[in-house]
Amino acid sequence: MRRSPVMTMMIRAAEKAGRAILRDFGEVEHLQASRKGPRDFVTVADEKAERILREELQRARPRFGLLMEESGEIEGEDTSHRFVIDPIDGTTNFMHGIPFFAISVALEESREAVAGVVYNPATDELFWAERNEGAYLHDRRLRASGRTALADALVATPPYVPAAHDFAEWRAITTALADATTIRSYGAASLNLAYVAAGRLDGYVETGLKPWDSAAGGIILQEAGGAITDFAGGKQWLKSGDVVAGCANLQPKLLEIAAQARKSVA
């Protein structure tokens, strides 16, 4: 196992932001019964975590650009490198006191993810990977599962219809997946991808994602031996927001299900 200086810095930034939002997460349950509720509180926590990440990353790599969920894009002098940041992926879970959320930080080179960190401070689980260096949970090497049968698999997918997506098409996809395998909905894209990398999940299918949702988790999965494509089987999943991810044996089968379901409503 070898961590580059930039990876060490990314991990340090994620852990620092994690300590801040973990304190906030401890207060969320006390807000559930209040009239105002936790939503505004969580928004402040989200913005605070993003500020910490931005400051730490810019201090270490001031010439790199940033793409952030809350603040948008900041172009850097070095136009080929960009950090992609989601300060709290899974804000709905966070807001309801459910410990399934993560800080997600990816480094892109020429708009391709080359390093990623997904950190869940509630469980203190740190997933990370660098291109051609493998994927890890802390210091333990990750491998995607070797399952071959969809009937034995566990696949994450949201039950809702993304606002920008065709309702009939998404209903057909999720219905076909439910018929073929066991599905779950956890509510944080970066962790779903990291869980596929760790073999906890065998696949993940979703649409309407943003780059900050999937960039870090995507390279972690790839470095763990898994596969990720768009709905056409191509490499445009960061751009399109359509993700079919899975272990090497099952990802093609999940892609086939999605393709056939889309064709059935075309």
Nearest to 21 by CA among 40, 1, 47: 47
CA atoms of 138 and 141, how far apart (whole Å): 8
- Residue 33 confidence (pLDDT): 40
- Residue 170 confidence (pLDDT): 86
User: pTM, whole model, 2 decimals?
Assistant: 0.93
Check: CATH 3.40.50.720 for 5-141?
A: no
* Identity of the residue numbered 58: Q
Write the pLDDT tens digit of every residue in 70-99.
889 999 999 999 999 999 999 889 988 899
CA atoms of 104 and 119, how far apart (whole Å): 7
pLDDT at 31 > cutoff 70: no
| Inter-axis angle of helices 189-197 and 211-223, nearest 10 | 0
Residue that wins the pLDDT comparison between 30 and 218: 218
CA atoms of 148 and 181, how far apart (whole Å): 12
Start and end residues for every CATH 3.40.190.80 domain found in the chain: 150-264
Phi and psi torsions of 114, nearest 5°: -120, -10
Give the pairing type, strands 154-156 and 203-206: parallel
Nearest to 206 by CA among 251, 161, 239: 161
Start and end residues for every CATH 3.30.540.10 domain found in the chain: 5-141
Banded model confidence at residue 69, pLDDT cuts 50, 70, 90: confident
Write the pLDDT tens digit of every residue in 196-240.
999 999 999 998 899 999 999 999 999 999 999 999 999 999 999
Topology at the third CATH level for domain 150-264:
D-Maltodextrin-Binding Protein; domain 2 (3.40.190)
Banded model confidence at residue 34, pLDDT cuts 50, 70, 90: very low
CA atoms of 182 and 198, how far apart (whole Å): 18
Both tokens of 184, joined, read 């779950």
Cβ-Cβ contacts under 8 Å for 12 (sequence gap 6 or more): 56
